[in-house]
Structure 1
């Protein structure tokens, strides 16, 4: 025989009712029909930069995986060249102001060089390649 409610009595077909730790939950009948789908948690909008970069990353990731062994081979070479770069950078820093001064001068001389180049070609002997 079925009991009216209560946490103790038998369930519908004689199985004991489940008691979920107090409150009304243990006494409520099992849910009939399809269980309700919970609402999705509110989605946070991804930053626009990430939205732009994601397709690019998907495109380049296989390429990176192909290039990784190549980078591993180049690393010792870069280690050898690094001291050389450390010597060259101060030299470049000294030459940069000089280049800045020469650039306007080169801009002025370029049209003149374009005019002179055909004349120089006429006077230079023909170079045989091979």
Structure 2
């Protein structure tokens, strides 16, 4: 069975880098770049893991994470926050809201792959 990732990110270079890293290892990667409609994409695509940027157009990743955790249908989906916002207050907020992992940009390919595999229980 193919494992599905939903990458919610608005930076084209990051989208292509993450897609390349994960598809090379057999993951199916769907992408979405608008914070306002991200939750509907989660419901439609039913990913095994979500990679979520903190800074998105129209709605923050932190708000999206809060809503994901408040909904029984999405509360258990593992979430990796992947963001340029690497201050401790951002890490603390992500943890309080229920992010499973927090990673800052720039990132290493191996680090992203290992994190996703761990979150999906595929390692």
Which structure is richer in relative contact order (CA contacts within 8 A, separation 6 or more)? Answer: 2
Give the TM-score of the pair, scaled to structure 2. 0.14
Structure with the higher fraction of residues in helix conformation: 1
Write 1 or 2 for the structure with the bigger share of strand.
Answer: 2
Larger radius of gyration: 1
